[in-house]
Amino acid sequence: MYLAKVYVTLKPTVNDPQGITVLGGLKSLGFDSVEEVRVGKYLEVRIAAPERSQAEAKVTEMCRELLANPVIEEFRFELEEASPRPGG
Amino acid sequence: MYLAKVYVTLKPTVNDPQGITVLGGLKSLGFDSVEEVRVGKYLEVRIAAPERSQAEAKVTEMCRELLANPVIEEFRFELEEASPRPGG
């Protein structure tokens, strides 16, 4: 069992309206020292695989096919060995 | 200038319909080995601060006041020194 921590972020050149909105919110709350906010996704994926290399290949495939939009987003992930989920 | 990488996740006991939907999507694409998906937010916040401790305090405050919903979410962040943003 592996736990993949997947980070999906917009490519640096892509405009991020959600980040701009959060930045505005922070400024209006008085956080004047904030300069930029970019918002991405963070996913934790539990996957059964006998070996790390297989888990890695699967997670890469998942990111390419569903978790990230390759046109505007990029992804990276960390893989760690995990115990089966509680009660699972 | 500091760059805070903020991770906002649902508390472990909170139901995650978005994660369940992604899990369903992965399964229907043939990823049978996936057992669980949980979806969170990942934010990159650039903040001007003379010292690390001040940046840390500010980011904690931001998380408490806007970035995370303390009722159902928890947050953690990493702080790294950053160069001013390109063209900024």
ipTM, 2 dp: 0.88
Q: How confident is the model at residue B32, as a pLDDT?
A: 96
Domain membership flag for residue A88: no
Tell me the pTM.
0.89
**Is the CB of B22 less than 8 angstroms away from the CB of A43?**
yes
Strands (E), chain B: 2-10, 34-47, 73-81
Domain membership flag for residue B32: yes
How close does chain B come to A17, measured CA to CA in Å?
13
**Is the CB of A66 less than 8 angstroms away from the CB of B25?**
yes
**Is the CB of B88 less than 8 angstroms away from the CB of A37?**
no
Residue A11 maps to which CATH number? 3.30.1280.10
Domain membership flag for residue B52: yes
Domain membership flag for residue A86: no
The pLDDT tens digits along chain A (88 residues) read 999 999 999 999 999 999 999 999 999 999 999 999 999 999 999 999 999 999 999 999 999 999 999 999 999 999 999 887 655 4
Domain membership flag for residue B88: no
How close does chain B come to A39, measured CA to CA in Å?
5
Q: How would you list the strands of the sheet with B73-81, edge to edge?
A: A73-81, A2-10, A34-47, B34-47, B2-10, B73-81
Domain membership flag for residue B87: no
In a mutagenesis test of the B interface, which of A42, A67, A74 is the best target, namely the one with the most B β-carbons within 10 Å?
Answer: A42
Q: Which of B19, B29, B42 sits opposite A7 (nearest CB)?
A: B42
Start-to-end Cα distance in chain B? 12
Backbone angles phi, psi at B28, to 5 degrees: -70, -15
Domain membership flag for residue B86: no
Number of domains observed in the structure of chain B: 1
**Is the CB of B35 less than 8 angstroms away from the CB of A29?**
no
Residue numbers in A near B84 (CB within 8 A) = 35
Structural domain span for residue A21: 2-81
Domain membership flag for residue B29: yes
